[in-house]
Amino acid sequence: MQIQGSGALIAGGASGLGEATTRALHAAGAHVMIADLNEEKGTALASELGTAAQFVRTDVTDADQVQDAVDAAAALPGGLKISVCCAGVGWAEKTAGKRGAHTLQPFETVIRINLIGTFNVLRLASAAMVANEPGDSGERGVCINTASIAAFDGQVGQVAYSASKGGIVGMTLPAARDLANNGIRVCTIAPGTFDTPLLAALPQENKDALGKQIPFPSRLGRPAEFAALAQHIIENEMLNGEVIRLDGALRMAPR
């Protein structure tokens, strides 16, 4: 898929991995639609990037709001050809312990935002892509989702987060197969420990300690590295139905 001149929807595109992806695709010549709950950051980023960037406030768990974002992206010059979903939240709580069972509401919330929200973006963006005129190879669009290595190496207290990300991993191949006849590719990136707003509250020494756990390079991942992989997936037509770990060979210990 050629990025130059294509329309791109980036859910969760105002900060962290999503912001880096927004910047990378914009720099590569895409017309970007930033879909995010954070109106202040989203508006500021769109204003900074200029005329080829727009912002739409979007809750990925709300089907109507996601549809509005998809419609806005489809109206961009070049049409909606690229969808990247980076929206997500975390939660730490054990399945059961001295305090009792894992509270249900946070589990449901994490599943709703991370898994159902991702599926909302995937299903509605791909439905819009079906109407695109195919390129020379028959390709109509590319959808990239964000999982986590917690889908494979979930740690103590990560049952909700790991379940949500495991669901994203699990739907990658069947979604790619569902959409193959329409010329739409689906891939998932499973990042390891990255320097994102989720870690912003940690002291630097704690961040350094987390980085040293990574075999090589022994540092936190940089959002720009996630964006670079997303860009490569978009441009590499043979990447389809694949989950790619981006983690510096990290395999997380139980704790």
Residue with tokens 């995010």: 36
Lowest mean pLDDT among 19-23, 110-114, 154-158: 154-158
Read off the pLDDT band of 242 (50, 70, 90): very high
Please give the average per-residue pLDDT across 36-47, as a whole number: 97
pLDDT of residue 165: 98
Rounded CA-CA distance 121/128 in Å is 11
pLDDT of residue 87: 92
Percent of the chain residues past pLDDT 90, beyond the cut? 90
Furthest C-alpha separation in the chain: 61
Q: What is the model's pTM?
A: 0.96
Please give the average per-residue pLDDT across 168-194, as a whole number: 97
Read off the pLDDT band of 209 (50, 70, 90): confident
C-beta neighbour count of 28 within 10 angstroms: 17
Domains in the chain: boundaries: 7-246
Residue 45 pLDDT > 70: yes
Read off the pLDDT band of 201 (50, 70, 90): low
Rounded CA-CA distance 160/45 in Å is 31
The topology (CATH level 3) of 7-246 is Rossmann fold (3.40.50)
pLDDT of residue 199: 75
Lowest mean pLDDT among 5-9, 17-21, 88-92, 115-119: 88-92
Q: What is the mean pLDDT of the chain?
A: 95
pLDDT of residue 210: 86
Please give the average per-residue pLDDT across 21-46, as a whole number: 98
CA-nearest of 153, 155, 127 to 141 is 127
| 184 phi/psi in degrees, rounded to 5 | -115, 125
pLDDT of residue 48: 98
The b-or-e profile of 192-218 (16+ CB within 10 A means b, else e) is: bbbbbeeeeeeeeeebeebbeebeeee
Please give the average per-residue pLDDT across 36-40, as a whole number: 97
Rounded CA-CA distance 58/117 in Å is 11
**Which residues have C-beta within 8 Å of that of residue 178, sequence separation ≥ 6?**
none
Residue with tokens 């959808």: 143
Rounded CA-CA distance 249/228 in Å is 18
Which residues are identified as catalytic?
161
